[in-house]
Amino acid sequence: MFGKGLFGRLDWVTVILYALLVFIGWINIYSTSVGEAHTSIFDFSTLYGKQLFFIGLATLGIIFVLFVESYFFERFASIFYIVSIVLLIGLFVFGKTIAGATSWYDLGFFNLQPSELAKVATALALAKFLSDIQTDIRTGKHQIYALIIILLPAVLILPQPDPGSSLIYFSLFFVLFREGFPIYYLGILIFAVVIFATTLMFGTVWVAIGLIILTLLIYTFKKASVKIPVLPVLGVIAVSILFSLSVNFVFENIFEQRHRDRFVLWLSLEKDENKLDEIRKTIGYNTYQSEKAIESGGFIGKGFMEGTRTKGDFVPEQHTDYIFSSVGEEWGFLGTATVILLFSLFFLRLIYIAERQKNDFSRMYGYGVISILVFHYFINIGMVLGLLPTIGVPLPFFSYGGSGLIFFTMLLFIFLKLDSNRLKDGI
């Protein structure tokens, strides 16, 4: 409908979904932060006013990205990456501390969070490295290079401390999986997590018994034609049990109490109902309040600006990490399900777009974008719903915050820009 120009080639389904998410997010930020005095929505002393300003900046960012030539991103990917690494290192000297984390540069009108910028840069750099004609991800050497690209920013971010952002970089493994990185690594990771959790819940002895029973079952029901060598299986069991034994040690000696408490809550490790309830209301205060707020929304919710717990500011950080609880309280199940649906459609659309790329760099970068966004979404909403331990990451496009919104937007629109050029030869 827009002809063959840039606007004609842009994927408008994605743009509309993006706009919807940003709009719904802003509506909820407005609801959580509007005060008694109803001032203009452009009042920049309010959070919703500021967020509107950030939306404006993000729009400028979109325009910038769309008018830059596509090859620019590929060519300068390494430069971006190096700049963001430098910025991350610079935080140790010039960083501004907000809420205990030294994650920001104070630019006067705006606090820049370089870890957000680094997500874009890392996704670009990884795509560039993997799409290089000389890179073969099946070789150990290149696997290690790829790991370094991913883990370097993660390691730099961890001591800010910002374990949430740090964790996000692991999502880029999905890019590797897509490009042929052995998928059983993911299997091993999931297996390890399961062993970790079950050990905490039931103890090593039961984990061992469970593993042996599982193995026996597999041997009993496998087809006669399938041969499973015995020795490696025994090795896997032995390593699993050793790992299981180490879990308790790590949990008791390496973890700090606040970490332990999160796991105690998450896995309901405390058997005394009263004590568990106590922990839920103290350590798990945020989650408790957010669950309560969501629960109180019911099917249709309390209505826009009618959320009592939202208005009462009972859920801490409700305009940032816990914004989804406001959706739950004021818009009910209808609202939350709609948001989940929108996100799911959005991601599936992006995956579809990524798969239609002919250019490797574009596809790999696309996967990077999707992985990062999905990971944020999963961890954030999982935490707000009390399914995951408390890990502070924002909900993309929803949560209040300039750096987040602007870099998520740029992350996305760089991909859309690359997509718009997919029919051209080269980039």
**How far is CA 240 from each of CA 113, 140, 227, 263, rounded to the nearest angstrom?**
39, 24, 22, 20
- Three-state secondary-structure class, residue 344: helix
Minimum CB distance to other proteins, residue 375 (Å):
10
SS3 321: coil
119 or 309: CB nearest other proteins: 309
Query: For residue 75, what are the CA distances in angstroms to 107, 129, 158, 195?
Result: 28, 11, 29, 43
Q: Return the number of the residue (114 or 368) whose C-beta is nearest other proteins.
A: 368
Which amino acid, one-letter code, is at 235?
G
* Residue 105, H or E segment: strand 101-106
Give me the DSSP letters along 366-390: HHHHHHHHHHHHHHHHHHHTTSS--
Secondary structure of residue 111 in the 3-state scheme: strand
In terms of CB distance, is 35 or 100 closer to other proteins? 35
Query: Could you tell me the smallest distance in angstroms from the CB atom of residue 334 to other proteins?
Result: 9
Distance CA 291, CA 299 (A): 14
Q: C-beta of 369: minimal distance to other proteins in Å?
A: 11
Choice between 219 and 352, CB closer to other proteins: 352
Cα of 292 vs its chain's centroid, Å: 24
The beta strands (E) that lie in 245-347 are given as none
3-state secondary structure 32-55: HHCCCCCCCCCCCCCHHHHHHHHH
Q: How far is the CB of 401 from other proteins (least distance, A)?
A: 21
Structure tokens at 152: 């370097």
Smallest distance from other proteins to CB 314, Å: 5
The letter for the amino acid at 161 is P
Please report how close the Cβ of residue 178 comes to other proteins at its closest, in angstroms.
6
61-83 per-residue burial string, b: 16 or more CB within 10 A, e: under 16: bbeebeeeebeebbeebeebbee
CB 356, min distance to other proteins, A: 11
Closer to other proteins at the Cβ: 105 or 378?
378
Each residue of 267-294: b (16+ CB within 10 Å) or e? eebbeeeeebeebbeebbebbbbbbebb
Among residues 134, 132, 244, the alpha carbon closest in space to that of 193 is found at 244
Q: How far is the CB of 343 from other proteins (least distance, A)?
A: 8
Can you tell me whether residue 143 is helix, strand or coil?
A: helix
**What does the alpha-carbon distance between residue 377 and residue 233 come to, in Å, rounded to a whole number?**
36
Provide the minimum distance between the beta carbon of 20 and other proteins in the complex, in angstroms, as a whole number: 16
Task: Tell me the closest approach of the beta carbon of residue 31 to other proteins, in angstroms.
Answer: 13
Q: Which residues bind other proteins (CB under 8 A)?
A: 35-36, 174, 177-178, 180, 183, 291, 294-299, 306, 308-309, 311-314, 328, 332-333, 336-337, 340-341, 343-344, 347-348, 351, 355, 367, 370-371, 374, 377-378, 381-382, 385-387
Q: Which CB sits closer to other proteins, 328 or 396? A: 328
- Other CB atoms closer than 10 Å to residue 4's CB: what's the count? 8
Q: Is-contact 138 179, C-beta < 8 A?
A: no
